[in-house]
Chain A
Amino acid sequence: MATVSPALHGHDHADSHGHGHHEIGFIKKYVFSTDHKVIGIQFLVTTLLMLMVGGALALAVRWQLAFPWENMPFLGDIFGLFRTEGGQISPEFYTMLFTMHASVMIFLVIIPVLAGAFGNFLIPLQIGADDMAFPVLNMLSYWFMWPAIFCFGTSFFIGGATAGPAGGWTSYPILSAIMEAAPGSGDAQTWWLFGLTLVGVSSMMGSVNYMTTIINMRAPGMTLFRMPLTIWSMFITAILQAFALPVLTAAGFMLVTDRLLGTVFFVPSEIIVNNAEPTVGGGQPLLWQHLFWFYSHPAVYIMLLPAMGMVSDMLSCMCRKPVFGYKPMVYSMAAIAGLGFIVWGHHMFTSGMNPALGMTFMTSTMMIALPSAIKTFNWIGTIYDGNVKFNAVMLNCAGFVALFIVGGLSGIFMAAVPVDIYFHDTYFIVAHFHYVLFGATLFGVFAAIQFWFPKMFGRLMNDKVAKVHFVLTFAGMNGTFFPMHLLGIAGMPRRYADPYFHTYLEHLLPMNQFMTFSAILMGCAQFLLLGNFAYSILFGEKAGRNPWNANGLEWSAPSPPGHGNFDEPPVCYRGPYEYSSPEAEALGQDFILQTSPPPAGVKKADPAHH
């Protein structure tokens, strides 16, 4: 397959589609498009914008921790975001900040960037389908994001700087169920819950769509064990979404009705909050925690697995080597997903749960490190003795592995219940999840953006800039989050607007300031990413169909692929990772597309037989 010049409308095969379509208007093509690639890019751009929003909120959080009660520059005075406070962060506002930071990052950045952006863009391309099974549903799943963003935004802005969602992203009742518990959170918290529900609806539509597409729309020859790990990860993620998310949605409705309609699912009786009338009730606050974590623990794997899949793909390509242990990789993802359903209680060790449950959850939590261990070692095995291309994609992938190890290992401390007695709700937790969420997932996403950028836009991103971005982000990330482990050990509780109010934490201020400076550095580094992204769309080096000499089906399509994706319906002949295989050698190259028919006289290698 020689490089074919990227045609924006690669559409000389229109008649091979059921409906020769005519001129589509701009709106239908780029705004309310049902084309999975457009939707994927829409998701990507939206989530990158949301990353800025979430990051800005994080920097505000960091500001307060480094310079408590001091006027914040820029955001405070200049934009007058909270001028009422004279640019100062009030404790209520601090709560709003980290609540919205987490909500934006989790629900509007990480989940949609993985499943929404890359899932959408890659699934049909990698399995050789011309689109998703339900394109209209797909479009809706994107457009349901906006009402969600609107709800979150309303919740943030509705009451100015003193009224906002006050429950953290976990929104434990009865703080979040009874209006009086957090004066001013009234409508804001409700809007927040609506936002959550809408994100849920959006993801649910996406997940049904992904599962159907992956099950039923694979190209001929694309057996289950020839699917790239990206597809496997998306598939497993979709299953997690489909089965865990409805529980959160249900719980969310219960909390909304508790707030609005007087139901008492989470409200015990005779509770006197803030001198209000004693409640009537009989409900149980712990029920929310169970239902919430029944979703939100699987959700952390929803936020990780797709990155794991994509990193496996990219590592294999950048090392010009098959993935080390393809099937174990698949099984370990399945195991993570399966175990992921039975470990949620590890967030509740100190919550007053039944101690017997605590022991069960501890054991299952420990066990979940096993499949993660397999994956980690297999990635290192994949790099081993490869012909490694040290470009930004590769570096971000290696960064992913390195940081995932840290995040995962800190999880082990907390999985041990007695140790978690001490660490629960300290900065140790904050360190843990930023390592896995930012460190692992976002680095995976940075790599994926650069890797699939040419497929999206027909141009390459600038590798030098990307490398600088990598180094700065990596350094800033470690500088910001590694010390958090130590703060956690020192006993600094999270969600504190002013930890230094407590004498035993006073001496941690300089460390916090250092972390804030690192965070600012890291924040600035993101402009390199955005700049590189925007610049390269317009002026990047043109890429052919297969700039990385990769194997996947998507690389046999034009860059960017036209409507309907492939020039002709692809047929798959082998697994996705046959780099440097004898077959490839026979063609005089170190890769062989999944669509290339087997060269004559070479023994066929298929990872399915290993």
Chain B
Amino acid sequence: MKKFWAIFFWFWPVVALVLCVMAPSQGWWFPGPPGTQMGERIQGLFELILGIVTVTFIGTNFALGWVLWQAASKGDDKKAFYSHGSHSLELIWTIVPAFVLLFIALYQMDVWAEYRVQSFYPEETKQGSVAEFMARQFEWRVRYPAIGETLKDEAQPGDLYMVNELHVPAGRPVKINLRTQDVQHAFFAPQLRLKQDAVPGLIIPVWFDVPKAGNYDVTCAELCGWGHYKMKARIVVESQQAVDAYMRKLQEEQTEDGFVEEAAEEE
């Protein structure tokens, strides 16, 4: 019966591992391949840590099961090994993880820097943002500059508006200005592996570079009220020509019904 418990503690990590191995084939894994360069590197880091952690997980759980197994194999009246520990062992199992962890910490700094530190952003994004991505309860409002203009922080009369859909060109880094009109929200594009909170009062630039044309989901990842779960938008990545055409279409629609002036008034 005692051995049962050792096996018990061995058994479940095995199940867990099997589950993880099965996961990708069952769809319990990342939603598609990473859509951006950045996402690729983020996922690479994830896999690196996954490797380290899996080794640790197996090692520690094996050790736990083993000390139990070994104790279970011995008789009841067996005397316990009287020891207060071992400094050299402790030193080893402090220093080894210390190096591993320090390595992880340092190894990923550049990805973080590139994603967040403005001076590390790709050159192409420094000319300005293609759109403003404004969260509000419970939708995403997209504001493009008028064709041929650059995006200003304040709404301009010729600006073009759309809700819950952002069109950007494929194959080059683009930057958007993330804002919120009311409470805090978060821009989460799972296929792009990107996330950034939209904070009231701040204009936060987010850049991404999607090589492949397609539709990518955007959800909200910061609790923002009852409709938090339904802030669904999408990023349409397409060729530059298609984006231009889309802009022209937007402009036509908006000048026709006199919406432009209204919109300018509103801000």
Contact = CB atoms under 8 A, between A and B. Distances in A.
Direct contact of A and B (CB under 8 A): yes
Interface in A353-409: 355-356, 358-359, 362-363, 366-367, 369-370, 373-374, 376-378, 380-381, 383-388, 390, 395, 398, 401-402, 405-406, 409
A416 B111 CA distance: 10
Contact of A418 (B42, B98, B188): B42
The interface centre, meaning the residue of B64, B83, B194 with most chain A CB atoms within 10 A of its CB, is B83
Contact of B116 (A358, A383, A507): A358
A489 B29 contact: yes
A602 B184 CA distance: 67
Contacts of A91: 226-229
Contacts of A426: 221
Interface string A160-195: 000000111010111100100110000000000000
B82 A376 contact: no
Contact of A326 (B42, B72, B84, B104): B84
A507 B28 CA distance: 9
A182 B226 contact: yes
Interface string B9-21: 1001101100110
Interface in A449-505: 471, 474-475, 478, 482-483, 486-487, 489-491, 493, 495-499, 501-504
B164 interface: no
Interface in A257-276: 267-269, 271-274
Nearest to A383: B67
B223 A175 contact: yes
Nearest to B225: A182
Nearest to A475: B12
Given A95-B223, A489-B29, A398 B9 contact: yes
B183 A419 contact: no
Contacts of A363: 105
Given A352-B197, A377-B93, A166 B183 contact: no
B112 A355 contact: yes
Interface residues of B, number: 103
A174 B80 CA distance: 58
Contacts of A493: 188, 219-221, 229
B68 interface: yes
Given A486-B23, A496-B229, 5 more contacts: A285-B199, A322-B82, A322-B83, A366-B101, A419-B42
Interface of B: 1-2, 5, 8-9, 12-13, 15-16, 19-20, 23, 27-31, 39, 41-43, 45-46, 49-50, 52-53, 56-57, 60-61, 63-64, 67-68, 70-72, 74, 76-87, 89-90, 93-94, 97-98, 101-102, 104-105, 108-109, 111-113, 115-117, 137, 181-184, 186, 188, 190-191, 193-202, 204, 217, 219-230, 232
Interface of A: 90-92, 95, 166-168, 170, 172-175, 178, 181-182, 267-269, 271-274, 284-286, 319-326, 328, 350-352, 355-356, 358-359, 362-363, 366-367, 369-370, 373-374, 376-378, 380-381, 383-388, 390, 395, 398, 401-402, 405-406, 409-410, 412-413, 416-419, 421-422, 424-426, 471, 474-475, 478, 482-483, 486-487, 489-491, 493, 495-499, 501-504, 507-508, 511, 577, 579-582, 590, 605, 607, 610
